[in-house]
Amino acid sequence: MFSIEKMHFEISERKMILRLFDVFFVLGALFFVGKMFNFGYFTFSTINFYWTIVLSVYLNLFGTIFEMYDLQVASNQFQVVRSAILTASTTVLIYLLTPVFSPELPTKRVEILVFYLVVFMALFLWRMFYVKFLASNRFLQNAILICDKEQVEELISGLEHIDPHYKIIAFVHADATEDDTVEYYYVSNIKRADLFSFVKENSVSEIVIASQNTEGITAELYQQLLHLLESGSIIREYTQVYESKTQRIPVHYISRDFYRFFPFSRSNHNKLYLLSVRIFEIGTSVLGLFVALVLFPLILIGNAIGNRGKLFYTQERVGKDGVVFEILKFRTMISNAESNGAVFTTANDSRVTVFGKFLRKTRIDEFPQFINILKGDMAVIGPRPERPFVVKEIAEIMPFYETRHIIKPGLTGWAQVNYAYGVTMEDSLIKLQYDLYYIKHRSVFLDLNIAFKTITTVLFYRGQ
């Protein structure tokens, strides 16, 4: 018998639930208010059905930009209020200003206010219900890990830090010889013979196999797994779970047999995709340079007062296939910032000027790179290009780092929109995982996702 208490959802399913119910509650509230109070601005009809579609698209579009579908934001009451206000305000404003795709502006101003309040309150009340009753309880997911005992701590912490609703409640040794049981904090070590009964008694949703030692999958354990599979249990490999939940490639785990786990995206060689990307890059670059030209007088004045030096600077970066090129940026540091030699930039770097911080936070300092994009040295979306000495140092320590160079570096990328600024080797590893995920899953959908997240980064002043 299916038990609703055991129901759980994957991260992608949670986001889809949020999107669908946002639309459902907003449209439902508008329909209710229209019927009860004769509110005629938004009415449902087969003639104007596209009004409903347009409003739904706007709601999802601006909800994405203002982080309504970021699960960390969606679980925080304060952040939900902020995101709901921004999403409702922008959705209503744009909807009112596109009368070709929406109803004509109402004759009474009070109807505009009612429209806004209904959209906001529907979003707000539904999301408060989600935070209170769903986010913390409904999505709890229990799992069992099968791994070598030396990996237990690393793998368990890796998975649980990804998703607070994902709990490893037990693990099974995958060693060839099963020794005495060992407790790891609150996680039990169970015998292979007890695996099936433990799964059924503890509502375990999936079994994760993380052992790289095939000898550990004994005939006894294999039979247990087959029995569980036949009874409907989900069995997944660790890299699959890690990648689906983090949207990163676990290069720290898969070691030298990397290419078994890394089928490159066909989009990297798809001529139609590459042509459409190039057209998008040219259009975006022309628009970006036009905006830079409009802002140029203000940038020139700010540089003269705040930076007191050259406006532009160039720097060597590593591009596609390891080819070095000159990147162009607005200067954000003091003059002669590297008079003692090249060094890593750090968070809160004292060499960055006050005006330079503003340029970095708003990403305005990177506008000249649209010239690099037009020249073909860079793309709009891709791994951020690094300096040659940085690439050399990291590549000596970190396997697969230079795999980033199989595509053009980008103005923005999957690592930039998902991970805060960092300068340690651990930070570089995490960014590499994001970059390789992009290379593996490169697609129009992922490009659009990065574009929306970049807009969010600029709007919330999160540039580095």
CA-based Rg of the chain, rounded to a whole angstrom? 26
pLDDT number for residue 262 = 64
Q: How many other C-beta atoms can be found within 10 angstroms of the C-beta atom of residue 39?
A: 19
Q: Which helix (H) or strand (E) holds 173?
A: strand 166-173
Contact present, 71 and 134 (Cβ < 8 Å): no
> What are the φ/ψ torsions at residue 147 (nearest 5 degrees)?
-160, 170
- Candidates 12, 119, 129, 132; CA nearest to 63 is 119
Predicted confidence band at 1 (pLDDT cuts at 50, 70, 90)?
very low
pLDDT number for residue 216 = 61
pLDDT number for residue 373 = 97
Helix (H, G, I), strand (E, B) or coil at 364: helix
- pLDDT for 176 beyond 80: no
Contact present, 253 and 433 (Cβ < 8 Å): no
Domain regions of the chain by residue span:
4-134, 141-246, 266-459
Cross-strand partners of 316: 326
The CA-CA-CA angle for residues 285, 288, 290, to 5°, reads 110
Predicted confidence band at 255 (pLDDT cuts at 50, 70, 90)?
low
The pTM score is 0.81
Average pLDDT over the chain, rounded to an integer: 84
Contact present, 363 and 421 (Cβ < 8 Å): no
Q: What is the mean pLDDT of residues 217-229?
A: 84
Rounded to whole angstroms, the Cα distance separating 225 from 415 reads: 36
Predicted confidence band at 4 (pLDDT cuts at 50, 70, 90)?
very low
pLDDT number for residue 214 = 60
Which range has highest mean pLDDT (20-24, 196-200, 213-217)? 20-24
Contact present, 17 and 68 (Cβ < 8 Å): no
Rounded to whole angstroms, the Cα distance separating 436 from 395 reads: 14
Q: What is the mean pLDDT of residues 88-109?
A: 83
Helix (H, G, I), strand (E, B) or coil at 386: coil
Q: How many other C-beta atoms can be found within 10 angstroms of the C-beta atom of residue 347?
A: 10
- 230-239 pLDDT, tens digit per residue, is 888 889 988 8
Residue position matching structure tokens 């793309």: 379
Helix (H, G, I), strand (E, B) or coil at 163: coil
Q: C-alpha 161: how far from its chain's center?
A: 15
Rounded to whole angstroms, the Cα distance separating 385 from 412 reads: 10
pLDDT higher for 274 or 256? 274
Six token digits for residue 263: 């089928």
- Give, rounded to a whole angstrom, the gap between the first and last alpha carbons of the chain: 52
Contact present, 285 and 279 (Cβ < 8 Å): no
One-letter amino acid for residue 391 of the chain:
V
One-letter amino acid for residue 442 of the chain:
R
- pLDDT for 379 beyond 90: yes
Q: What is the mean pLDDT of residues 114-134?
A: 92
pLDDT higher for 126 or 334? 126
- 36-91 pLDDT, tens digit per residue, is 877 766 666 666 778 889 999 999 999 999 999 988 888 888 899 999 999 999 99
Question: Residues 262, 419, 127, 43: is their CA dihedral positive or negative?
Answer: negative
- pLDDT for 3 beyond 50: no
Burial string for 50-67 (b: 16+ CB within 10 Å, else e) reads ebbebbbebbbebbbbbb
Rounded to whole angstroms, the Cα distance separating 43 from 29 reads: 12
Six token digits for residue 147: 């791994």
pLDDT higher for 193 or 9? 193
Q: What is the mean pLDDT of residues 320-337?
A: 88
Cross-strand partners of 329: 313
Q: How much of the chain, in percent, has pLDDT values that exceed 90?
A: 35
Residue position matching structure tokens 């659009």: 448
Which range has highest mean pLDDT (13-17, 233-237, 282-286)? 282-286
- pLDDT for 363 beyond 60: yes
The CA-CA-CA angle for residues 430, 432, 433, to 5°, reads 65
Q: What is the mean pLDDT of residues 334-349?
A: 64
- Candidates 39, 7, 24; CA nearest to 141 is 7
Cross-strand partners of 172: 146
pLDDT number for residue 18 = 94
pLDDT higher for 401 or 184? 401
Which range has highest mean pLDDT (130-134, 175-179, 251-255)? 130-134
- pLDDT for 108 beyond 80: no
pLDDT number for residue 2 = 41
* CATH 3.40.50.1380 is held by the domain 141-246: yes
Cross-strand partners of 289: none
pLDDT number for residue 20 = 96
Q: What is the mean pLDDT of residues 170-177?
A: 76
pLDDT number for residue 180 = 56
Annotate 285-325 with DSSP letters as a single string.
HHHHHHHHHHHHHHHHHHIIIII-S-SEEEEEEE-GGG-EE
Six token digits for residue 81: 């209020």
Six token digits for residue 201: 């008694």
> What are the φ/ψ torsions at residue 4 (nearest 5 degrees)?
-65, -20
